């Protein structure tokens, strides 16, 4: 681990704007959601739900700016990903390895650098880093994961205040209020508007409770994965749709169903108790009849194990997409405000999420594993007059690249200890990466007990992926061109011997480049 002494000389150097850029430093609006899968953004073009569900406001950013098709997280879990965004550094350097960590707020962050350069800075919504924000002129954050209904917000004076309504709407209300009420509107700003949705437990807004009422959404082809041809540790995780949902928290039952439902006990739906009586009536009207039909069919012996899993999947995916509908609507509200306030032309707008998510692929929900469904991150950026509309850069990028990109856009020097790279050379060149751009990315996951996903780290190139499981000393290797669903590890296939050796060399080299300590992950 590193310590973070005050580096005044470094900070002063980094915040000295380049003369040509200082006159028109762009505003930066960073819209960040939690666990938004690429499969649930229609602009990415691979959504199996597109017939029934679209994200028109997020898609607008793709049409008017850039959509990065190879965007990845450095550590697929909430807090660590956020720490990577703030610092531009991998988890083992910024010190936030997993969600049991606490963010060391004495270290440099993009907010501190931009604030010292004259930017007004604010963060509103989900923070989830264990310590209060530092380096922001204004903040108002959810405690921990926060709540969907009638959420609490921690204020800058340390008090907590409850607001009636739906959290995605309220975060946007507060974001718009901050924009409208800024005292010095000539100053550029960094505004981080950070949503809880679509994080578990996927509680929709009242207006969306009946979405998809009369349809079944498509299942992924690997919903009933048996984990053959890969490490047996995959079978030991605890994040399957078939066996690892709670009847209260995930499925919204008020009482425990029969054991045949295959739902776990012990985690009730605490969101229901936060609702007003009127909100509860709307909720019960939407979910009660659906639950009763399921229970009747279960009691009548009409449902096989697979049909029960399919029922759980439908409840999960519909609620997940319902929460995203509210996110997309609120992205639209923010874009409309920028247009009306005359801010759109000089504001960089980014939409991203802390990682992607399993929407039933491999039988899972959640994230963590270095498979594509959670390794990827949405990253869409609009910058009128600078970024050519509609470009889809193919360069491999990571969330450690966000901070240096923001600094570079503001005309600031990028400190040498930041491990990410600015995306401006790509953005200003119609999406084409410079010749020296990276051809592989490094991933790290420390392992946590809740979902029993084994610690592992690895490397992804344009075609291949390798990761190492230290506790069992196993390698996994995937050919993403031949096996995009990652159903077969080819590490022991003689036909891939040369690729395997090359990927292990890349793995060793990247660990050295990023100064990963021996023994991590454990």
Residue 5's pLDDT is what?
41
- Find residue 66's DSSP bridge partners: 381, 391
Which of 483, 487, 491 lies closest to 467 in space, CA to CA?
Answer: 491
Instruction: Please state the rounded mean pLDDT for residues 250-268.
Output: 97
Is residue 20 pLDDT above 50, yes or no? no
Query: For the residues 321-331, what does the mean pLDDT come to?
Result: 98
- Which pLDDT tens digit goes with each residue over 47-82? 899 999 999 999 999 999 999 999 999 999 999 999
Per-chain mean pLDDT for the chain: 95
**Radius of gyration of the chain, Cα coordinates, nearest whole angstrom:** 23
Task: Write the CB contacts of 160 (distance below 8 Å, at least 6 apart in sequence).
Answer: 143, 152, 153, 154
Of the pLDDT bands very low, low, confident and very high (cuts 50, 70, 90), residue 191 is very high
Question: 22-202+320-433 has which CATH code?
Answer: 3.40.720.10
| Percentage of the chain lying above the pLDDT 70 cut | 96
User: Where are the extended beta strands (E) located within 354-481?
Assistant: 379-382, 397-398, 440-445, 456-461, 464-469, 474-479
Arithmetic mean of pLDDT, 171-185: 96
What integer is the mean pLDDT of 194-217?
97
pLDDT reported for residue 79: 96
Confidence of residue 128 (pLDDT cuts 50, 70, 90): very high
pLDDT above 70: residue 493: yes
pLDDT higher than 50, residue 9: no
The CATH 3.30.1120.10 portion of the chain extends over: 443-513
- DSSP strands (E only) in 68-110: 71-72
pLDDT at 22 over 80: no
pLDDT per position as a tens digit, 367-390: 999 999 999 999 999 999 999 999
Question: Residue 227: CB partners within 8 Å, gap ≥ 6?
Answer: 234, 235, 362
Please state the separation of Cα 293 from the chain's center in Å: 34
Contact 97, 74 (CB under 8 A): no
Indicate where the chain has its CATH 3.40.720.10 domain(s): 22-202+320-433
Q: Which of 115, 92, 120, 114 is nearest to 104 (CA)?
A: 92
Residues 6+ apart with CB under 8 A from 369: 76, 234, 237, 445, 453, 456
Topology of 443-513 in CATH? Answer: Arylsulfatase, C-terminal domain (3.30.1120)
Percent of the chain with pLDDT over 90: 94
pLDDT attached to residue 21: 44
**Which residues, other chains included, contact 504 with Cβ-Cβ below 8 Å and sequence gap of 6+?**
466, 475
- Asked if the peptide bond before residue 15 counts as cis, ω within 30 degrees of 0, the response is no
DSSP 233-254: GGGG-S-BTTT--BTTTTT--S
- Nearest alpha carbon to residue 333 among 19, 60, 10: 60
pLDDT (0 to 100) of residue 180: 97
Q: Which residues contact 162 (CB under 8 A, 6 or more apart)?
A: 150, 151, 152, 153
* Residue 24 clears pLDDT 90, i.e. is over it: no
pLDDT at 454: 97
For the full predicted model, state whether its pTM sits above 0.85: yes
In the prediction, which pLDDT does 23 show?
52
Mean pLDDT of 200-204: 98
**Residue count (the chain):** 522
Backbone angles phi, psi at 198, to 5 degrees: -95, 50
pLDDT computed for residue 11 by the predictor: 53
């Amino acid at each position: 681990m590193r310590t973070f002494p005050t580096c005044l000389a470094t900070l002063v150097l980094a915040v000295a704007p380049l003369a040509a850029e200082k006159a028109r430093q762009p505003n930066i609006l960073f819209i960040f959601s939690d666990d938004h899968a690429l499969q649930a953004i229609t602009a990415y073009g691979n959504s199996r739900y597109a017939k029934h569900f679209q994200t028109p406001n997020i898609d607008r950013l793709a049409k008017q700016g850039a959509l990065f098709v190879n965007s990845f997280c450095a550590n697929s879990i909430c807090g660590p990903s956020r720490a990577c965004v703030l610092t531009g550094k991998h988890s083992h350097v910024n010190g936030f390895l997993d969600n049991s960590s606490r963010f060391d707020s004495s270290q440099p962050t993009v907010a501190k650098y931009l604030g010292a350069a004259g930017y007004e800075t604010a963060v509103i919504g989900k923070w989830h880093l264990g310590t209060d924000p530092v380096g922001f002129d204004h903040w108002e954050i959810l405690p921990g994961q926060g709540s969907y209904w009638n959420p609490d917000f921690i204020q800058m004076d340390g008090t907590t205040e409850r607001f009636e309504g739906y959290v995605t709407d309220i975060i946007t209300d507060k974001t718009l209020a901050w924009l409208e009420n800024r005292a010095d509107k000539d100053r550029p700003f960094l505004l981080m508007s950070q949503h809880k949705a679509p994080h578990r437990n996927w509680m929709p807004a009242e207006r969306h409770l009946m979405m998809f009422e009369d349809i079944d959404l498509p299942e992924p082809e690997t919903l009933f994965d048996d984990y053959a041809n890969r490490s047996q540790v995959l079978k030991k995780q605890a994040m399957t749709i078939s066996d690892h949902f709670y009847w209260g928290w995930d499925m919204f039952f008020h009482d425990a169903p029969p054991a045949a439902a295959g739902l776990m006990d012990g985690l009730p739906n605490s969101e229901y108790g936060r609702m007003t009586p009127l909100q509860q009536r709307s909720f019960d009207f939407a979910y009660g009849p659906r639950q009763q039909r399921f229970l009747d069919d279960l009691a009548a012996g009409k449902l096989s194990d697979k049909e029960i899993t399919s029922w759980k999947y439908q409840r999960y995916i519909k609620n997940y997409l319902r929460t995203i509908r509210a996110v997309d609507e609120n992205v639209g509200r923010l874009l409309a405000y920028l247009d009306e306030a005359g801010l759109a032309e000089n504001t960089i707008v980014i939409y991203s999420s802390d990682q992607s998510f399993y929407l039933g692929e491999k039988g899972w929900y959640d994230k963590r594993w270095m498979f594509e469904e959670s390794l990827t991150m949405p990253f869409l950026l609009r910058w009128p007059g600078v970024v050519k509309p509609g470009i889809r850069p193919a360069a491999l990028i990571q969330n450690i690249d966000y901070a240096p990109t923001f600094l570079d856009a503001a005309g600031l020097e990028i400190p040498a200890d930041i491990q990410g790279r600015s995306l401006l050379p790509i953005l200003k060149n119609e999406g084409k990466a410079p010749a020296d751009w990276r051809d592989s990315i490094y991933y790290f996951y420390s392992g946590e007990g809740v979902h029993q996903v084994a610690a592992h780290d690895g490397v992804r190139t344009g075609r291949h992926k390798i990761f190492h499981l230290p506790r069992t000393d196993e390698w996994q290797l995937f050919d993403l061109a031949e096996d995009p669903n990652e159903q077969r590890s080819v590490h022991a296939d003689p036909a891939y011997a040369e690729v395997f050796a090359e990927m292990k060399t890349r793995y060793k080299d990247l660990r050295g480049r990023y100064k990963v300590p021996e023994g991590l992950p454990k």
